[in-house]
Structure 1
Amino acid sequence: MSLAITSATGFARLPPVSRRGTSTGFVSFALSVPSLVAPAHSSRTANVHSQRIPSLYAQPTCPLDRDTSSATVGLRSFHSTSHSWPSTPRFTYHVAASYSAKQDRFNADQNLYTQPVHDPSQSKIDRLRNCKEALNKRPRAQSGQDAFFFSQVGDTNTTAFGVADGVGGWMESGLDPADFSHGLCEYMACAARSWPHGFNTTSLHPKDLLQVAYDEVTDDGDIEGGGSTACLAVAEPDGNVEVANLGDSGFMHLGLNAVRHFTQPQTHAFNTPYQLSKTPQRMLVQMAVFGGASTLSDLPKESSVTHHKVRHGDVLVFATDGVWDNLSPQDALGIVSRHMVDLGAWVENDGTMEVGQDLAKLVQADSARKADGSSLQAKVAVAIAKEAKVTGLNTRRDGPFAKEVQKYYPGENWHGGKPDDIAAVVAVVLEDAPWRAKL
């Protein structure tokens, strides 16, 4: 999670006042860390609690416990990325997600989502609200304030997927941050599924998808308020992948034991990432009557957009800060490479790394049913989430977040991992066999 700032020096992650007027507008999940977190983190929270500040808009020092800090709204709790041949290569993206809520024990079998078989008939959606209401009839994934989604784009072979991380500080205002992040992912999934309905573009871009979903969340009376970061992609069958990132969730593009790209977080200040938000009307009235600093609110158009060209056997990893605050890019590369090699997806041949011949079988591409937990993408996603979970509870191993705290707040003496909700979405890229045979 993360903070919202009210001034150049403040760290209170406050609920953003919407800078928009009225607004318009598939699968999502949330996570949090298990009961293991309490004993592992108890020694550090004692000092943090002594730094609680008295007022909503007071300037905190270093809010190391963002769930318990009284610097509320917007606070992201520390706990709580052309050839002239007769035809072009075609790619499919095989997706799985693994997640864990901060207060829960990690369960690889239960906290797993794998890509369903595409049914083009499901793209016929008249209203996104109806689509979301249908999704709400299913149990929400036990991923805490983190959420994720996957969907085919309309009746095409294009796919969209990504993650969102709810801002924990809204809990101090009586709001569940998971409602915003899960709602955002549900609307992104529904909007992608119903494309081109509701869009005025000839192709879907992730920033536009995020805008439509944000408009729907803003208009949805069942979502009173909240805030979230987002990192999502639209992956085309020609191998072009466009990514939009807002905040400190992030994306990695890996290929044959190498990091091809890693997103840089968007932040206003330390632990204060860019974030979408919706401020409840009651809070707007209070601020109008009693005054006070305006709250942080960024817009989808401020997302950082990058473009990538994928290859056969590449791996795309989208994750919330519960992963990236505990695992460095080198850590993530090591986890992915180890499993890709051990399972035969990447193989060494005369000193060079190649894609294994059984990749289609490993991702269960030929199956008419939903991929299961034994698929390659599921095993890689579980491995990333599990390692982030274990590292977050390790009080001796300093992760990326601990190193940042030591850099900016050396007096805090912060060591170890950062218990938090975790969501990791993994997509393995598979090139169609007929094309590969021509090469």
Structure 2
Amino acid sequence: MGFAAAGALVLSNQLFPRAGSRLSSSSGLLLLYLSTSSLLAAASTPRLYNTQASKSFLSLPTCSVNNNTCPISPYGLRLFHPTPQACGSNPHYSYRIAASYSAKGHRLHPGRDLFTHNGLEQCKSTITDIKECKLHKDKRTRPRSGQDAFFVSQVGDSDTIAFGVADGVGGWSESGVDPADFAHGLCEYMACAARMFPEGSKAGPLHPKDLLQIGYKEVMQDKSIIGGGSTACIALAEPDGLVEVANLGDSGFMHLGLNAVRHFSHPQTHAFNTPYQLSKTPERMLVQMAVFGGTSALADLPNDANVTNHRVRHGDVLVFATDGVWDNLSPQDALGIVSRSMLDLGAWVENDAGFEVSEDLQSLVQGGSKGNSDADSLQAKLALAITKEAKDTSLNTKRDGPFAKEVQRYYPDENWHGGKPDDIVAVVVVVVESPVD
């Protein structure tokens, strides 16, 4: 992931690990490294979204119902249009979640690099202090996902689930800071805040932007996290089928249903390969900047996150992932992977009328266990399929992924081809309507 360095312009290999062999030293890409003045100019202009992604989306199959997604209202109220499924009924949904991950430079181990969420707990967390909750999370037991992180947590003792991904800004390693600490710490604090809810939260319902704000505040106050930065894509999924998402930067998500894309997120960027990001500047760097002057690190705020609301249906699939996935897989690629897997595994069924959700979906999300999901569950297989394809593509020097196409678009003189090796995290959610008693 890109990042504007504190104190000085950074070398091209911070944004492009293979720049020494793939990019010339006179490359126009050096213009990407922004000074304070250019950052302020970017902040004062409208957000730059990836228009290439929206063009690609036009070629994808889309749903006949266009009201599954709506932006949040200016007053913070959730506005949803009724869908045929929701009319005259009050369905109850559960969310079966799995995550697959692979650190840059490491081989993917499907049996090890996998997390499955085993459903709701029956009681609220007894811990009421978020810092105490964070202390219970041992750094040595973190997923081997490199600088990328994720979390899944029940919200209090409700049936609402919070989950999301965070992508640590790799450029901080050049300043002696471990970028993983910020991203993993952010996710750990958000998981604690969700599980403890409503302890330590403002009155009223919890929203993903609130969760992001809590996590960011705690990271900023945590002296064990020296510095760093991260993008984030966070969701709260409610049992009535309403899902609210807050996305900051170039991590992102897709909402898929019955071989169609219902929604995909647009990255927030200040410039090419320079996404919106939360950040924390180490004290020593702040002192150096105060004494010697220089540029400051790029720092956006949780309130800058783009918020959308979605209504999900039985058999829908949500894919949340860091840019290690989206830089290597297009929306068409992701749809193809999910659709093939859902059909091959029997979760979706194709007939003369199109596609429908299989009657076996409930058993498929449970995998080989009764009640709890495991590595044989549908969601685990989907997550692994996405991670494997992204990993393979990132190492393929002949297959141009979305990142390569963007480089070719903005810098046609560069001889950039193939994938983009990076840390990878994919969180997959399968929506299941609970049977009527």
TM-score (norm 1): 0.82
Equivalent residues of 1:248, 1:267 under 8 A apart:
yes
Match of 1:356 in 2: 358
- What does residue 2 of structure 1 align with? 2
Q: CA offsets, 1:38-57, max 9 Å, x none?
A: xxx97x6424485699xxxx
Q: Percent identity?
A: 65
Structure 1 residue 232: deviation in Å? 0.9
Q: Which residue of 2 aligns with 1:134?
A: 136
SS of 2:115's equivalent? strand
Q: Deviations over 1:15-71 (max 9, x none)?
A: xxxxxxxxxxxxxxxxxxxxxxxxxx97x6424485699xxxxx93468xxxxxxxx
Name the SS of the counterpart of 1:322 in structure 2. helix
Task: Specify the alignment match of 2:405 in structure 1.
Answer: 403
Distance 1:329 1:114 in 2: 24
For 2:162, what is the secondary structure of its paired residue? strand
Give the C-alpha shift of residue 95 in structure 1. Answer: 0.2
SS at match of 1:192: helix
Distance (whole Å) between structure 1 residues aligned to residue 360 and residue 256 of structure 2: 19
Alpha-carbon distance change, 375 to 360 in structure 1, aligned in 2, over 3 angstroms: same
Q: Which residue of 2 aligns with 1:243?
A: 245
Residue 291 of structure 1 aligns with an amino acid whose one-letter code is G
Q: Determine if the alignment matches structure 1 residue 278 to structure 2 residue 248.
A: no
**2:30 is aligned with 1:60:** yes
Question: Partner of 2:21 in structure 1?
Answer: 46
2:137 & 2:335 partners in 1: Cα distance? 34
Deviation digits for residues 277-329 of structure 1, max 9, x if unmatched?
01111111110110112321000000000010000000000000000000000
- Give, in whole Å, the separation in 2 of the partners of 1:418 and 1:159: 32
Match of 1:101 among 91, 98, 103: 103
1:163–1:328 distance in 2 versus 1, CA, 3 Å: same
1:179 maps to: 181
* Aligned amino acid, residue 224 of structure 2: D
Return the offset for 1:123.
2.1
Query: Contact between 1:62 and 1:409, CA under 8 Å: does it hold in 2?
Result: no
CA distance in 1, matches of 2:122, 2:416: 50
Shift of 1:5: 7.4
Confirm or deny: 8 A CA contact 2:368 2:374 kept in the other structure.
Answer: no
Which runs of structure 2 are paired with 1:23-422 in the superposition (5 Å)? Answer: 45-48=20-23, 50=25, 60-61=30-31, 85=88, 88-136=90-138, 139-364=141-366, 370-422=372-424
Q: For residue 136 of structure 1, report the CA deviation from its aligned partner.
A: 1.6
1:383-408 deviation digits (Å, cap 9, x = unpaired) = 00000000000000100000000111
1:122 positional shift:
5.0
Rounded Cα–Cα distance in structure 2 between residues aligned with 1:424 and 1:45? 29
Query: 2:367 touches 2:376 (CA, 8 Å); kept in 1?
Result: no
> CA 1:137 to 1:146, structure 2 compared with 1: closer, same or farther past 3 Å?
closer
Q: What is the alpha-carbon distance in structure 2 between the residues aligned to residue 49 and residue 149 of structure 1?
A: 39
**2: CA distance between counterparts of 1:267 and 1:12?**
20
Q: Deviations over 1:129-187 (max 9, x none)?
A: 11111112651111000000000100000001110000001001100000000000001
Q: Structure 2 unaligned segments of length 5 or more: list them.
A: 34-68, 70-81
- Measure how far apart 1:2 and its partner are: 1.8
Q: State how far apart, in whole Å, the 2-side matches of 1:219 and 1:368 are.
A: 42
How far is 1:119 from its partner? Answer: 2.0
Go from structure 1 to structure 2 and tell me whether the alpha carbon gap of 1:52 and 1:272 turns closer, same or farther (over 3 Å shift). Answer: same
What corresponds to 1:431 in structure 2?
433
- Tell me the SS of whatever aligns to 1:363: helix
Aligned partner of 1:427: which letter?
A: V
Q: Deviations over 1:213-253 (max 9, x none)?
A: 00000000100000000001000000000000000000100
Q: Kindly tell me: are residues 143 and 407 of structure 1, through their superposed partners in 2, closer, same or farther at Cα, counting changes over 3 Å?
A: same
Separation in structure 2 between the aligned mates of residue 407 and residue 127 of structure 1, nearest angstrom: 49
1:107 Cα deviation (Å)? 1.0
> SS at 2:413's partner residue?
helix
Indicate the larger mover: 286-295 or 242-251.
Answer: 286-295
**1:5/1:268 contact within 8 Å kept:** no
Aligned counterparts of 1:365 and 1:233: Cα–Cα separation in 2: 24
d(CA) in 1 for partners of 2:102 and 2:24?
25
- 1:434 aligned counterpart, secondary structure: coil
Report deviation, 1:349: 2.5
Deviations 1:91-117 (A, max 9, x none): 000000000000100111110000034
Q: CA RMSD in A?
A: 2.4
2:256 partner letter? L
Which letter maps to 1:274?
Y
Per the TM alignment, residue 126 of structure 1 is displaced from its structure 2 partner at its CA by 1.3
Partner SS state of residue 366, structure 2: coil
**C-alpha contact 1:4 1:12 (8 A) present in aligned 2:** no
Q: Give the Å deviation of 1:330.
A: 0.3
**Equivalent residues, number:** 382
Cα distance change, pair 178–52 in 1 and its aligned pair in 2 (3 A): farther
Question: 1:332: Cα distance to partner?
Answer: 0.1
Contact 2:368 2:377 survives alignment (8 Å): no
Distance 2:408 2:135 in 1: 44
Report the Cα distance in structure 2 between the residues aligned to 1:5 and 1:262, rounded to whole angstroms: 30
Structure 1, gaps ≥5 residues long: 14-40, 54-58, 64-80
CA contact (8 A) 1:5 1:272 kept: no
